[in-house]
Amino acid sequence: MPVSFQPAIYHLTRWTMTSMNQLCPFEDLGSHPDSRRRFMFRAIGGLAAAGLAPAIVLSAAEDDELNEKLDASIRGALSWLASEQQVSGAWTTSDFGDSTATTALAIMSFLAGGHVPEEGPYGQHMTRGVGWLLSQQHANGLLVGKERSHGPMYSHGIATLMLAEISGMVDPTQSEKCREALQRAIQLIINAQNHPKPAEHDGGWRYQPTSGDSDLSVSAWQLLALRAAKDIGCDVPAENIDRAIAYIRRLHVKHDGGFGYMVGHGSSVTRSGTGIVALEVCGEHRTAETLAAASLILSRPLTRGEQYFYYGAYYCTVGMFKVGGEEWRQSRESLYRTILDLQNPAGYWNPEDGTERQAGKVYSTSLSVLALAIEYGYLPIYQR
């Protein structure tokens, strides 16, 4: 089924964010007597009451000192990310050159911090980044550019997610290009899922559009992209979402409650967070599988020694937030402080794991911002 697009839905998110910007310009919030978070809660709360935005529930354990650290951390990280943008508009990796994945993650970090294209201190950075990313799309819809990667579907899923989140906010000169690129990118994800696979891999994705197997990590990014696109009016068949949910459920490890990389594989804290997010964004809220994985994360808190630490920091924080309830209350401070403690005074996070070290500081810094800004509530895909 071809992907269609309904542009009328696009402008609500931009209206919400720009209306808040008019209430109190984002670049001035650093001197506002309240923190950016507290102001955001009031502003979005008012819009929610008018039916224009989702309500956000404050944690019962609101901690002013922690929240001030979070706000300062995010401001420093965004300033550092802006300084790392290349002349081309791209953001780069340590070992693989300019990357659609790191560029998309950086742009989403600015969105998560409350910034929009063409406005405020980072508006032009975002517009240039989107322009570069659009220029990298292949004829078949793949958003990978010229970067060297063994797994182009990683970059494609992340870049597609970003386009779905930002499409209603881009400069008018980029609007049509963004919509067309998103349509083609979503169709490629659907075609890749439909590529013939054995029964245990059906419904998922792996490194290539023509892969005959699937894994949790690549599949989670494609699901995030599909859900974000569906939420703004793209025609994503329900059958494709249902098959993806069934695949993620097959990865659930019953003996400890976590999620494995493939069917029959053992769990880890990072993979458990990934499984939670994949199911939660599809509306599988507080199911037996997500609650069991949340219990595993509570029993084995994320530490800096965890393999793929920044991947885990992102997925565990987003996942526990999406689960909500007592699980989020118990894990919130520990997750935040674990990430905050590793930030360099210059604003970035420096990855230590071999594979993450190859991805570089833009990758680790962007994932950290997306985790720390989860309660700001600006990115629709991360809202409850």
Residues 101-153 have pLDDT tens digits of: 999 999 999 999 999 999 999 999 999 999 999 999 999 999 998 766 668 99
Contact 150, 143 (CB under 8 A): no
User: What are the tokens at 229?
Assistant: 């696109």
pLDDT at 14: 39
pLDDT at 38: 45
CB atoms within 10 A of CB 87: 7
pLDDT at position 78 over 90: yes
Q: Output the CA–CA distances (angstroms, integers) from residue 3 to 20, 123, 182, 230, 241, in the order listed.
A: 32, 29, 9, 10, 14
d(CA 223, CA 318): 14
pLDDT at position 272 over 50: yes
Chain Cα centroid distance, residue 7: 22
Work out the average pLDDT over 237-257: 97
Least trusted range by pLDDT, from 52-61, 189-198, 274-283: 52-61
Work out the average pLDDT over 209-224: 98
pTM confidence score: 0.86
pLDDT at 353: 86
pLDDT category of residue 8 using cuts at 50, 70 and 90: very low
238-250 and 172-194 helices, crossing angle to 10° = 60
Q: Output the CA–CA distances (angstroms, integers) from residue 222 to 34, 92, 217, 267, in the order listed.
A: 37, 22, 9, 20
pLDDT at 147: 64
Work out the average pLDDT over 328-342: 98
Residues 6 or more apart in contact with residue 218 via CB below 8 angstroms: 151, 153, 154, 157, 204, 205, 206, 207
d(CA 326, CA 28): 34
Least trusted range by pLDDT, from 27-41, 348-362, 367-381: 27-41
Q: How much of the chain exceeds pLDDT 70, in percent?
A: 83
pLDDT at 384: 85
d(CA 29, CA 365): 22
Contact 370, 314 (CB under 8 A): yes
User: What are the tokens at 126?
Assistant: 């975002």
User: What are the tokens at 16?
Assistant: 């919400």
pLDDT at position 187 over 90: yes
pLDDT at 148: 65
pLDDT at position 36 over 70: no
Burial of 83: CB neighbours in 10 Å, binned 0-12, 13-18, 19+:
exposed
pLDDT category of residue 15 using cuts at 50, 70 and 90: very low
Contact 320, 328 (CB under 8 A): yes
The SS3 assignment for 207 reads coil
pLDDT at 42: 43
pLDDT category of residue 361 using cuts at 50, 70 and 90: very high
pLDDT at 20: 36
For 351-376, the DSSP string reads --SHHHHHH-HHHHHHHHHHHHTGGG
pLDDT at 2: 43
Q: Higher confidence at residue 133 or residue 45?
A: 133
CA torsion angle for 157, 267, 195, 184 (degrees, to 10)? -10
Least trusted range by pLDDT, from 28-42, 94-108, 163-177: 28-42
Top-ranked range on mean pLDDT: pick from 139-148, 150-159, 184-193? 184-193
pLDDT at position 196 over 60: yes
Q: Enumerate the H helices of the chain as residue ranges.
A: 11-23, 36-49, 64-83, 100-112, 123-135, 152-166, 172-194, 216-231, 238-250, 269-280, 288-299, 309-323, 325-340, 354-359, 361-372
pLDDT at position 32 over 70: no
Mean pLDDT for the chain? 87
d(CA 323, CA 374): 13
pLDDT at position 53 over 80: no
pLDDT at 95: 86
d(CA 93, CA 99): 7
